[in-house]
Amino acid sequence: MDDSSQKTLAFLKTKFQEYYAQEIRALPDRFSRREFAFVLFAGKGMMRHISFTKKADVYQYLKERGPQHAYYSSAYYKLPDAPTMQEKEWMGAELIFDLDSDHLPNAEKMTYAESLAVVKQEFKKLVEEFLLDDFGFQKKYLELYFSGGRGYHCHVKDPNIFDLDSNERREIVDYITARDLQDSIIFHEQATGRRRYGSQYYASGKSLMMPRPDQIGWKGRISREIIAIINEIIESNDPIAKLQDYGVKRNEAEKLVKELSEERVQRIRSGMLDQSKTIRKFFLNRALRKTAVALSAGETDEPVTCDVKRLIRLPFSLHGKTGFKVVPIALQKLDHFEPLTDALAFHDEPTEVLLHNPYSISLKDIQYTLEKGKQTVPLYVAVFLCGRRQAVMV
């Protein structure tokens, strides 16, 4: 490790220690039943299987070590400091939802600030539409946090879910992500028109009927989104370009627009999706993409929620890659929470750093457009840049 890297790690550790020397806020409930884990600056791997019986001991550890990352278990154990998971004797676990901007479609095309804004909307949808509305969890059992990095955490502390195993938790994830949701569950065919053969009348056709938009759960959610998408396309100055924004290839977009006659649009708005395979496939898939919540990075990535022994970031701890706090957020204040202002832990004393490349970021509503080389910036900017390895200490 070169001198500048050593100086940078020493700088970050010192600042983290100074932060932890202040009065730390409330610890998680039943903290003595939790496993704690830490990653230290210049340390080798994660230090696990740690427990505390006194709050003062937690604060002292943080103050002395100034860890780069601090975690605790979502599970409660009889022996949280036992060296193996089996010996710990699992007693139950909170239900954890971890939304990370890396899970977002096209995340690689977004700036850090843009991704935080989008993931907050996804998080709000998860909490309000699914956890509160569909599952009916009481607000008093939900704890919301900004992760200090790229997303948000929700801890569900309803005693009824503590004993759920991984498979049962996976069913909750499957519902929220609409995994394996078939159109046959959402839509139903209905006979339309009558044709007479002799003395008998038969249906002359059939339509694919959508659920009522005011229905609860996925049925109403899909219908509302299909109508919203229809309106967005029809009202666009360039419907084909709008569909291409959705990821539809141009030839398919042209075919879709051609099939969206005014008469057909009115039928869809009235609840009849029609039998057009193109329309049926597009609107169901698009509605699912817009309404389901991305809880993992892909099909093979196991969401945090399924893990009954998960480690999650300690509230009020610092994220080693940003210097931001893990901030609790009251549900009614989620809309107004601004991570690039509200999660900052350090002050604005001038600090000199050496940037590897030009970098731009807005913190505390101030836009910093920095050139490569030596720059003097506020301390909270310096910590952020060093944490993200965009700069080193001079």
Contact assessment for residue 223 and residue 256, using Cβ atoms and an 8 Å cutoff: no
Out of 57, 98, 158, 214, the active site residue is 98
- Which residues touch 359 (CB under 8 Å, ≥6 apart)? 368, 370, 385, 390, 391
In angstroms, the Cα distances linking 304 to 37, 53, 169, 238, 277 are 17, 27, 10, 40, 36
Helices (H), 77-162: 85-88, 112-125
Contact assessment for residue 382 and residue 376, using Cβ atoms and an 8 Å cutoff: no
- Measured CA to CA, the distance from residue 46 to residue 40 in angstroms comes to 8
Q: What are phi and psi of 316, to 5 degrees?
A: 70, 0
- Measured CA to CA, the distance from residue 97 to residue 70 in angstroms comes to 18
Task: Determine whether 2 is an active site residue.
Answer: no
Helix (H, G, I), strand (E, B) or coil at 125: helix
Task: Determine whether 301 is an active site residue.
Answer: yes
Out of 29, 133, 238, 301, the active site residue is 301
In angstroms, the Cα distances linking 237 to 21, 197, 242, 243 are 58, 47, 9, 12
State which H helix or E strand residue 169 sits in. Answer: helix 166-177
CB-count burial class (<10 Å; 0-12, 13-18, 19+) for 335: exposed
102 secondary structure, DSSP code: G
Point out the residues that are catalytic.
98, 100, 301
